[in-house]
Structure 1
Amino acid sequence: MQIARVAVLFDERYAGRYWLYGLNTFEAYIAEILSHAGIPYDQLDDVNQLERSRFDVVIVAFVEETEHTASLLWRFAEHGGIVISYAGLSHMRKRLGCSEKTQLTYGYASLPANAEPADSKPLRFLQARPWLITGEQAMEVAEVGVLHKDRPDGGQIGAPLLQFKVGSGWIDRWSVNIPYTVVGFQQGTKPVFADGIPAPDRTGDIDEGILKADDGCEMDWELDRLFTETGMPYYAYPYADLWREAAISHLLQRVVGAGLTLPFVDYWPEGIHAVALISHDSDGNEEAQAEKLLELLKECQIHTTWCMLEPGYRDEIYTRVNAEGHELAFHYNALDLDNGFWDEAEFNRQLNGLKESAPITEVCSNKNHYTRFEAWGDLFAWCERAGIACDQTRGPSKKGNVGFLFGTCHPYFPITWGSDQNRLYDVLELGFLTQDLELPYLADSSVVKPFLDQAYRVQGVAHFLFHQQYMGEPKVTAALRNLVTEARKQGFVFWTSKQINDWERARRTVKMDGINDQGEVKLSGDPAAQGAVVWIPVVHMDGSNVQSQSKFGVNCVKQLFGE
């Protein structure tokens, strides 16, 4: 087998014209989507490099739409290459025999049964530029799926994906801007400067005058929530994760269809399919409750992440937390009601106070008190400069918006605004799903199973928050026990935030340095990634006794890094 060479084309010179005016090029995020999926690629910053390099696939992320660009991409496809675009290629539209509809700011897309994720409802998108086939094509063309206007059952407005046969290759154009959609769910589509829109049923009154992460949620209160058997509302669908799957599945199926392979690194090490994380925020700093929690965690035999709010605990409590294998983390307080405020110097003052009072010199993780969040990336920049590698702030603050309100349960690196050239922050975001089950004003335990089901389905992180201060509530402690039992029953492994961060960074170092005639990939990378699973898509099994497994809709064989 031959490994496909994949290029991501992002013209930084052209993007610079956008950045000069603070405009965004979120299309660049396709590189992070590939990196998180463990897929190798090369970065191109000039379309002319296509003629000087031998690639099999070019993903057109962001490039100036000119006749010259269109001609080079057309020639690349004619000679057997695969061109993939997410709502771009406007200069090819007429040549491909299509007309363009008005740009959509949201809607839903139904994908066919042979595409990942096949078992989901229509996927909400946040930007699309649909093309309609005029019937004037001189080439073979396939329409994949259906776009719906406004609602999952709304009127049809074209297909999410069009595939054009050009010469001996293909030009595949998604109507949906997948990178923009993923970013929009994870981080919002604009900075948080004001309260968000509250839930019509009053279960999510986010308009209380406190700026928070969930003020930037891009879900629909009515269309994207379900209700449990006890009537608990929750955001049910990790749309960002499902769109990632759709993009990766499409790429891998195209590569295999061309008789090539494209090895990729699984999300978790051998023997682990999905991870559960429990974190605690020390609001009130009640030491008696902290001791009760330590006993409960010892009973459950799990390690958790303790986010510490100023002024924290006595040395004895910190020593025990460390000694029993838990992670000490930061809980920045910018809540006005507590005399906190949104400021980097204050962030650093509180962080340094934690380092002085607790027996730690480095802090890996942070979660903001009350999920306080302002603007776009201030928090990530502060974490980055302070050496905090992982943040957990993006989660729900109300009973009615628990679940996948940011469309993801995967760790990811967020993107900066255009004024900072849309680079990635060196901070891993790891949001949570809900907090303090069985309190009267929050969700009950009926949400546990649907959350675990979806997190397991997408191989993500099921992150639950339990405050230490409620460990005197029997219903809350019973809910924590039940969560641990159910998660283990489903096959989740419990890690701390630091463990997740360290693994995600280590696994991304695994590189594919070629493949031999027996289909074995030469691997290199950080020894900390030992046990990483590398999946190798296969074109034909030819009656081989080698066991394969379907990943992203293609048959793959497994190889372990470090063996």
Structure 2
Amino acid sequence: MEIGLLWLANQARAVDPWGRYAGYVEEILQHAGLPYRRIGPEPERLATQVDLCFAIVIPANLHLPDDVKEALSRFVAGGKVLIGLGGPSGLEAVFGCRDRGPLREAWVGSWDTSVLPMLAGMSGPLHAFGGRWLEPVDFSVEVLASWLDGDRWCQAEGWQKAEVGPAVTLRRVGRGWAVLIGADVAAAVVRIQQGRPVYVDGIPPADGSAPVDDGILKTDDGIVLDYERDRQPIADTYFFGCPVADEWRELLIRFLLWAARATNSYLPMLWYWPRPLAAVGLLSHDTDLNEPDKADLLLENLKKLGIPSTWCVVYPGGYSPGFYRQLDRDGYEIALHYDARTQLGQRFWDEHHLRLQLCWLRDMIDEQQPIVSNKNHYLRWEGLTEFFHWLERAGIRCDQTKGPSKKGNTGFPFGGAHPWFPMDEHTAERIDVLEINLMTQDLVLTCPAEIGRACVDQAIKHYGVAHFLFHPAHVEKPGIPQAMADVVTYGREQGIEWWTSSAIQSWERTRRQTQLQFTRHDSAVGWVAKTSWHVPEATFVLFDPTLPWGEAETLQRKSGSVAERVSVYGFPAVVRSGEVAPDLPFVLV
């Protein structure tokens, strides 16, 4: 049986303005590799589709017709799981909670694992954008987490007496369960990832650790996470140590895995990486100043480490054509480092200048390999999602610009280790440019070395990408080569493979061509993976409800070993890897 996603045929059915992001729940499920089907909300479609689902997700707080409410009530009472996001959608009698009105911004506090132990891996407090205040109206409602009022936080005492009602609840309904998440998960993920529009300098934290008000418009001027409430201390500074957007994604995934187990349903997941890997790493190098001797030294250091990396080349260059050819021969990626910082000649914030610089780089390297990646010089940014459209029209498939420029906003200022596709703020359509968030620049020089290991640990915990920038311009400075070697070595010890930006975006697009299909023949049911592309090392995680809870190896690989029995998101599962091709489906169960 599958996951059902109640599909919004008309965005106007959302109660709140945040509901325009509801379609991003589908993007969350696609990236997670979970099989789902769109259902309803028209009653005639809903009636024929609910029998194929073990869980249904309501993606936002919706105005639902009475007959749809009745169908969903019967669905959950019959032994299935209903998950509501962003509010009760008029189903107060099912969720057992009254809608107390909209919230713009709040935090979800610690998790009550006594009811659902699978929440033990979640972090908190988690910053939310959009949702509803809730009030239980039935004694059977279990409160799994509560809202925290940001106005009741202070530096000295933290979140003392800040709880203001339930944020996540669970209720038994007949033979099934109703889960209500008061936060608008899709809105939180999109808002944290994309930030706020950048037209003026951002407001820096009071401690002076991130002076973003420097007169240069850049991505970290648009951070929506809170410098006071969302950072954690490390060494001699603070950093965004929790990938909050990834945590919101994970909350939905964990409830779906729990729903499969609660309904005795097998659920496969197309894993994020091949073979299987827990996470991957990315080193990028912005060629500011274009100094050949320093580029040679950095390349020598990289060869000693034996890893590929991505070189983001800035106009007007300075390296010889032979150096670019050597990079290409040795497996390094050549990407664009779009310069709108210099503001001279063809280096302004202008789509035409982006294309001119891209054409220059293509002519410079004179290779068949296309330029597919970009990072903006000084992380320059203006507006909200307009630049993603520039890249899309120019044929750039992947960007690395979302990240920190200051010591005090390193880590996960845009909420995630997972690569993500942006959503157009006006049309709510996906923009076909994969963003790979940057975590730090030049460890030791701009921030403590400890942040490197912390970011690797979080990337592994959330199965994402650990992305670090090391400039050739700093390669001779004390501690920089060792810091790069240390973070690469530490990542390897934890099972990370180091890839290029091009390889990451290519894998993400390739794996998404694989479809997990539920099959039924007489009384036998199963799952099969089919694809329109060749996927040589596809990995599948099968969540089997008969597997006992208990100790199991994680997907973290050490000494080259791969465990068949694994624990993923805290749930027991079996992992299988193999080749999938158009004429070679992969039978899972």
Could you tell me how far apart the structure 2 residues matched to 1:357 and 1:282 are?
Answer: 14
Distance 1:47 1:79 in 2: 20
Q: CA deviation at 1:10?
A: 2.5
Residue of structure 2 in register with 1:267 after alignment: 272
Which residue is 1:181 aligned to? Answer: 188
Match of 1:436 among 438, 442, 447: 442
1:73 lines up with 2:77 in the alignment: no
Q: Helix, strand or coil: the match of 2:270?
A: strand
Q: Given residue 35 of structure 2, which amino acid in structure 1 is its aligned partner?
A: P
Secondary structure of 2:334's match? strand
1:477 maps to 481
Tell me the residue number matched to 1:396: 404
Deviation at 1:370, TM superposition (A): 0.9
TM-score, structure 1 as length reference = 0.91
1:467 pairs with 2:484: no
Match of residue 326 from structure 2: 320
Counterpart in 1 of 2:556?
Answer: none
Q: Return closer, same or farther for 1:17/1:342 CA change in 2, 3 Å cut-off.
A: farther
Deviations 1:385-431 (A, max 9, x none): 111111101010111111111110111111111x22x1111111001
Query: 2:95 and 2:256 mapped to 1: Cα distance?
Result: 21
In structure 2, stretches of 5+ residues that fail to align are 553-562, 580-585
Match of 2:21 in 1: 26
Output one character per residue of 1:453-491: Cα deviation in whole Å (capped at 9) or x when no partner: 111111111100011111222421222122222222222
Q: Is the 8 A contact 1:261 1:538 kept in 2?
A: yes
What residue is the counterpart of 2:110 in the other structure?
110
Q: Does 1:142 align with 2:155?
A: no
- Match for residue 13 of structure 1 among 10, 31, 49: 10
Give the match for residue 571 of structure 2: 554
Secondary structure at the aligned position of 2:165 is classed as coil
Judge conservation of contact 2:203–2:212 (CA < 8 Å) in 1: yes
Which AA in structure 1 matches 2:228?
A: E
Deviations 1:496-547 (A, max 9, x none): 001111111111222223468998742222554222221111112489x996
**Structure 1 position 50, deviation (Å):** 0.8
- CA drift of 1:134 comes to 2.6
Equivalent residue number for residue 460 of structure 2 = 456
Contact 1:506 1:526 in 2 (8 A): no
Tell me which moved more, 480-489 or 234-243: 480-489
Could you tell me how far 1:200 is from its partner in structure 2? 0.7
- Over aligned residues, Cα RMSD in angstroms? 2.6
Which residue is equivalent to 1:61?
59
SS in 2 for 1:25: helix
State the identity as a percent: 33
SS state of the match for residue 277, structure 1? strand
SS in 1 for 2:209: coil
Q: Secondary structure at the match of 1:311?
A: coil
Structure 1 residues 273 and 557: alpha-carbon distance in aligned structure 2, compared to 1, 3 A threshold: same
Deviations 1:206-251 (A, max 9, x none): 112222111111222122222323x032111111111211110111
Residue identity in the other structure for 1:507: R
**Between 477-486 and 35-44, the greater mean CA deviation after superposition:** 477-486
Compare 118-127 and 482-491 and name the one that shifted more: 118-127
- Structure 2 CA distance for aligned equivalents of residues 131 and 375 of structure 1: 34
Q: Distance in 1 between matches of 2:80 and 2:122?
A: 30
Distance 1:87 1:199 in 2: 30
Secondary structure of the residue that 1:115 maps to in structure 2?
helix
Q: 1:290 to 1:177 in 2, by over 3 A?
A: same
Give the Cα–Cα distance (whole angstroms) in 2 for the partners of residues 12 and 191 of structure 1: 28
The verdict on how the C-alpha distance between 1:94 and 1:79 changes in structure 2, with shifts beyond 3 A counting, is closer
Does the CA-based 8 Å contact 2:18-2:130 persist in structure 1? no
Code of the residue aligned with 1:385 in structure 2: it is R
Question: Which secondary structure does the structure 2 equivalent of 1:478 belong to?
Answer: helix
Give 1:120's aligned residue: 123
| Structure 1 counterpart of 2:25, one-letter code | I
Q: Residue 366 of structure 1 contacts residue 390 of structure 1 at CA under 8 Å; is this kept in 2?
A: yes
Aligned to 1:283: 288
5 Å-filtered alignment, 1:466-545, equals: 466-514=470-518, 521-526=527-532, 528-541=534-547
Q: CA deviation at 1:108?
A: 2.8
Relative to 1, partners in 2 of residues 1:308 and 1:336: Cα closer, same or farther, differing over 3 Å? Answer: closer
Q: Take 2:575 and 2:135, find their aligned partners in 1: how far apart are those partners?
A: 41
Equivalent residue number for residue 131 of structure 1? 134
Equivalent residue runs for 1:217-236 within 5 Å = 217-229=223-235, 231-236=236-241
Kindly indicate whether the alpha-carbon contact (under 8 Å) linking 1:111 and 1:122 is maintained by their aligned counterparts in 2: no
Letter in 2 for 1:149: D
Measure the CA separation in 1 of the matches of 2:264 and 2:482: 53
Which residue identity lines up with residue 409 of structure 1 in the other structure?
A: A
Residues in 2 aligned to 1:519 and 1:549: alpha-carbon distance in whole angstroms: 23
Q: Which residue among 379, 385, 403 is the counterpart of 1:377?
A: 385
TM-score in terms of structure 2 length: 0.87
* 8 Å Cα contact 1:116-1:552 kept in structure 2: no
CA distance, structure 1, for counterparts of residue 83 and residue 276 of structure 2: 34
Contact between 2:547 and 2:573, CA under 8 Å: does it hold in 1?
no
Contact kept in structure 2, 1:85 and 1:174, CA below 8 Å: yes
What's 1:446 paired with?
450
Aligned counterpart in structure 2 of residue 161 of structure 1, from 168, 172, 176:
168
Q: Distance in 1 between matches of 2:432 and 2:224?
A: 24
C-alpha distance 15-391 of structure 1, shift in aligned 2 (>3 A) = farther
For residues 208 and 413 of structure 2, the distance between their equivalents in structure 1, rounded to whole angstroms, comes to 16
Task: Pick closer, same or farther for the CA change 1:11–1:499 going to 2, 3 Å.
Answer: same
Distance 1:378 1:161 in 2: 35
1:473 to 1:97, Cα distance in 2 relative to 1, 3 A: closer
Change (3 A) 1:66 1:45: closer
SS at 2:335 equivalent: strand
Matched residue SS, 2:164: coil
* Cα distance, 1:9–1:90 mapped onto 2, change above 3 Å: closer
Structure 1 493/170 Cα, relative in aligned 2: closer, same or farther at 3 Å? same
SS in 2 for 1:185: helix
Q: Deviations over 1:430-464 (max 9, x none)?
A: 0110011232xx11312222111111111111100
CA shift, 1:355, in A, is 0.7
Cα distance in 2 for residues equivalent to 1:224 and 1:18: 28
Q: Which residue of 2 aligns with 1:37?
A: 32
Q: 1:116 to 1:460 in 2, by over 3 A?
A: farther
Equivalenced residue count is 548
- Within 1, Cα distance between the matches of 2:472 and 2:76? 58
Letter of the 1:8 counterpart? L
Q: Per-residue deviation at 1:46?
A: 3.3
For residue 277 of structure 2, give the secondary structure of its aligned residue in structure 1. Answer: coil
CA gap of 1:379–1:542, structure 2 versus 1, over 3 A, is closer
Q: Aligned residue for 2:353? A: 346
How far is 1:36 from its partner?
Answer: 1.0
